[in-house]
Amino acid sequence: MNKVLVIEDEQSLLEMIQFNLELEGYSVSTINSGREALAMKNQLDNYNLVILDVMLPEVSGLDICRAFREVSTVPIIFISAKGNTIDRIAGLKLGANDYLPKPFDLEEFILRCSILVQPTKKQVAIPSEIKIGNYRVLPASFEVENSVSGEKQELSKREMELIQLFFSRKDEVVSRDEILNTLWTNDQFPTGRTIDNYILSFRKLFEEDPKNPQFFHSIRGVGYKFTLLD
């Protein structure tokens, strides 16, 4: 059973989160103050996920995340009434895996939790070419070749990194924040719209019908899923 630590001072929200996570089969522990949360710093190995409010009494969620990251890599989801880009970037830079503004959709929240508690898989080796429909992606040369016409075009470094990330996580939902945290580290965070534009570009290139994609799927409110057809 996956164990979740929820750190939230708003009692009604805390109870709602606990109730719904327990319905999904999680074992849930709760904390309602920042100081009490810091006292859990050396017990994080007992948990598979931490849900952390940003605005807590006594000690802020940002300071708690910083302290937790000194000792643990346990997945952390920030929840906060402060949901602008600057706040999201600040949370992700501290090592959080995801950031969900309040009020949030419960179904989306549960999905984000399930993504982060999935068992870590062995790293997937990137092959010398990745076949997507009628195209061959060639990571070594940053090229895409049409296997029918033989025409080639170059991809940018970021486009190739995105394709490799999707390939390594094919058939899995990958959140926007995970993509940001993986590929846009430190000072170069785009908005979610920037990633959407990359996906639109991939659909125009790889999909026969970009409006009904077979490979690059959007998962509303969460992120994307890359699928390769047999």
pLDDT, residue 88, reads 82
Shortest CA distance to 155 belongs to which of 188, 124, 132, 123? 132
Q: Tell me: pLDDT of 65 over 90.
A: yes
Cα–Cα distance measured from residue 28 to residue 39, given in angstroms and rounded to the nearest whole number: 17
**Residues 54, 60: contact at Cβ < 8 Å?**
yes
In degrees to the nearest 10, what's the CA dihedral of 169, 165, 162, 87? Answer: 90
State mean pLDDT over 24-46: 92
Element (H, E) at 90: helix 85-93
State mean pLDDT over 60-78: 93
Q: Which of 43-47, 81-85, 202-206 has the highest mean pLDDT?
A: 202-206
Instruction: Round the average pLDDT of the chain to a whole number and report it.
Output: 88
Q: Using the structure block, give the residue that is written with the tokens 């068992």.
A: 119
Q: Would you list the DSSP string of 84-129?
A: SHHHHHHHHHTT-SEEEESS--HHHHHHHHHHHTSPPPPPPPPPS-
